[in-house]
Chains A and B, each alone.
Chain A
Amino acid sequence: MIELEKLTVKFGGVTALDHVSARFEKPVSGIIGPNGAGKTTTMNVISGFLRATGRVCVDGVDLGGLSPHRRTRWGLRRCFQQEQIADDLSVADNLQVLLDALPGTRTEKRADLDSALDVTGLSARADTPASELNTYERRLTDLARCLVGRPRLVVLDEPAGGLGPSETAHLGDLILSIAVLTGAQTLVIDHDVDLISRICEQTLVLDFGRRIACGETAAVLEDPKVRAAYLGIAEEGA
């Protein structure tokens, strides 16, 4: 269970997040909202890149005191909007970086790495330098890195950005399988409402740094306030 409690972030005079609270209990949940709503800010607070007032608790563990790399060692995995693959490392080494920081024997790590590559369909590309990968393979490598080392919480920031419809569909299936394979809870941020409504059971909607709705995805998307803010449809009677 992921609990966000009264998260507030201010950049000078701008309030990027304003007392946002939410509780995610489903295996895959989503955060949506228009540009500048505070989605990536929320993600940065969860992964420790930004300081915020309020609390972030996952399965009862308060992540507040941990630096970003310690959160990763604890079990947090994160994909960025722009994939972050080191070009001069092979696909396997891009995953190995994460395992290097974790305890475990060489054999265990190798098996872990192999299964992550297998799930994402990258096994044949394991020794390929990342510089030779196409956009989708790079995205998959980034996702594969989220699967290794017993993740507890996987946060994905616009994983389908820049992908075509068939790739997005495949990626959606992969995201759904994360919880089954690793037992980790997944939080997805995306603009693509179709993707969110397909894979996320529960969704938080932000607008101008405030929570405007949170709950079952289908119900949330029907909420007049959400339709007004996110889909640009005027609220009835407004």
Chain B
Amino acid sequence: MAYSTSGIAGLAFAALTAVFLPVLVGSQWVLIFTSTACFALAAAGIGLMYARLNMVSLTQVGLMGVGGWVTLRMNHGLGLPFEFNLLAAGVVTAAFGMLLALPALRMRGLYLALITLMSAGGIEIVLSTFRFPNGGEGFWGVMPSVAAPFRRPVLAIEDGAYLRYAIVVSTLGMLLIELHRRGAPGRAWAMIRRSEAAAMASGVNVTLYKAWAFALSGLLAGLAGGLLAGSIGLLDAATFRAPESIMLFALAVVGGAGSWPGAVIAAILYRVLPALFNDWGLNPDLALVIFGAALLHAIMTAPEGIAGQIRAALPRWAK
């Protein structure tokens, strides 16, 4: 398999952040960067659907909630190690995403976006009604006030190590996308994007490959949600409300769908910028104003987002 400059830069970026971030920043920021790594993975899933298939998914953060719920449920229900719980979260969320895809597969554009938004709303209602398991009795496993302990991966008990763990999982997720892009699914997706008639005439099973994209994007959202659950061992339903899904989609477009820097930029805007404003004594909601302006900017002048603009500014050898 050929190595691209962008791929090497991505691995180097992941290695540098994994090595230095936990050492250089304070404990509060370690948590913020951990959740940034999680949201970068989820944003990469959005970018995959949008850049490869022109499909607008407005339910990604909701799906993260599903992954988080599964991880917490497994953690408090069974004695399995974190990795199993995380994998289960990915698989269940992928299946969930595929289930969602079934009615959505016949829809395009705005109608598909609306269906995904409605499912985000549905997930929001279920999660805010039943909340996340914290070690209580029964299926929903919720007990008031206190929470049972969360078992982190053996390799990553400390917050700093867990940040590294999250960066590694996030990087593996993005490599999985790249593997798809270079293989038969990537070629099939490119044909579908050209036109569904052309794809069918090329022998591509359009339904299968669209559902596959939904499943892959769901898998990444599930892993991201599971990782986020491990960050402080608790999740709050407010994190996964439907407007958050819309916000993350908008930022994925601003950052640049379809490339790793785009997903990272989206997550930084989503997580780090509000935290910075908070640090500077400004209202974190000010970030929303900036997001709005950035979205207008992206739609009008930068179809490939900020990542595309950075790439265009690089010298030729670095592309």
Of the listed stretches B143-151, B197-205, B212-220, B245-253, chain A binds B197-205
Query: Do A93 and B201 touch across chains, with their CB atoms under 8 A apart?
Result: no
Contacts of B203 in A (CB 8 A): 69, 72-73, 97-98, 100-102, 149
Contacts of A100 in B (CB 8 A): 184, 187-188, 203-204
Tell which of B184, B187, B188, B195 touches A84, judged by Cβ atoms closer than 8 Å.
B195
Given contacts A84-B194, A84-B197, contact A69 B204 (CB under 8 A): yes
CA distance A93 to B197 in the complex (A): 18
Query: Do A97 and B204 touch across chains, with their CB atoms under 8 A apart?
Result: yes
Query: Do B197 and A97 touch across chains, with their CB atoms under 8 A apart?
Result: no
Query: Do B205 and A49 touch across chains, with their CB atoms under 8 A apart?
Result: no
Query: Do A101 and B202 touch across chains, with their CB atoms under 8 A apart?
Result: yes
How does the 8 Å CB contact mask read for A50-85 relative to B, with 1 for contact and 0 for none? 000000000000000001110011000110100011
Contacts of B198 in A (CB 8 A): 80, 84, 86
Query: Do A68 and B201 touch across chains, with their CB atoms under 8 A apart?
Result: yes
A47 at the interface (CB under 8 A from B): yes
Query: Do A69 and B200 touch across chains, with their CB atoms under 8 A apart?
Result: yes
- Chain A residue at minimal CB-CB distance from B185: A100
CA distance A68 to B195 in the complex (A): 14
Give how many A-B residue pairs fall within 8 Å (CB-CB). 70
Query: Do B190 and A88 touch across chains, with their CB atoms under 8 A apart?
Result: yes
- Chain A residue at minimal CB-CB distance from B194: A86
Tell which of A47, A48, A80, A89 touches B187, judged by Cβ atoms closer than 8 Å.
A89
B180 at the interface (CB under 8 A from A): no
State how many residues of chain B have any CB contact under 8 Å with chain A: 18
Q: How far is the CB of B126 from chain A (nearest CB, A)?
A: 36
CA distance A77 to B198 in the complex (A): 11
Query: Do B206 and A86 touch across chains, with their CB atoms under 8 A apart?
Result: no
CA distance A87 to B201 in the complex (A): 17
B58 at the interface (CB under 8 A from A): no
A96 at the interface (CB under 8 A from B): yes
Query: Do B187 and A93 touch across chains, with their CB atoms under 8 A apart?
Result: yes
- Chain B residue at minimal CB-CB distance from A79: B201
Query: Do A84 and B201 touch across chains, with their CB atoms under 8 A apart?
Result: yes
A139 at the interface (CB under 8 A from B): no
B311 at the interface (CB under 8 A from A): no
How does the 8 Å CB contact mask read for B171-194 relative to A, with 1 for contact and 0 for none? 000000000000010011011011
Q: How far is the CB of B50 from chain A (nearest CB, A)?
A: 14
Query: Do B201 and A86 touch across chains, with their CB atoms under 8 A apart?
Result: no
Query: Do B191 and A72 touch across chains, with their CB atoms under 8 A apart?
Result: no
CA distance A177 to B184 in the complex (A): 29
A152 at the interface (CB under 8 A from B): no
- Chain B residue at minimal CB-CB distance from A155: B201
CA distance A48 to B190 in the complex (A): 22
CA distance A89 to B187 in the complex (A): 7
Interface centre among B200, B203, B205 (most CB of A within 10 A): B203
Contacts of A77 in B (CB 8 A): 201
A145 at the interface (CB under 8 A from B): yes
Tell which of B191, B201, B205 touches A47, judged by Cβ atoms closer than 8 Å.
B201
The 5 A-B residue pairs whose C-beta atoms are closest, nearest first, are: A84-B198, A101-B203, A72-B203, A68-B200, A100-B184
* Seed contacts A93-B190, A97-B199, A149-B203; 4 additional CB < 8 Å A-B pairs: A67-B200, A69-B205, A72-B200, A100-B184
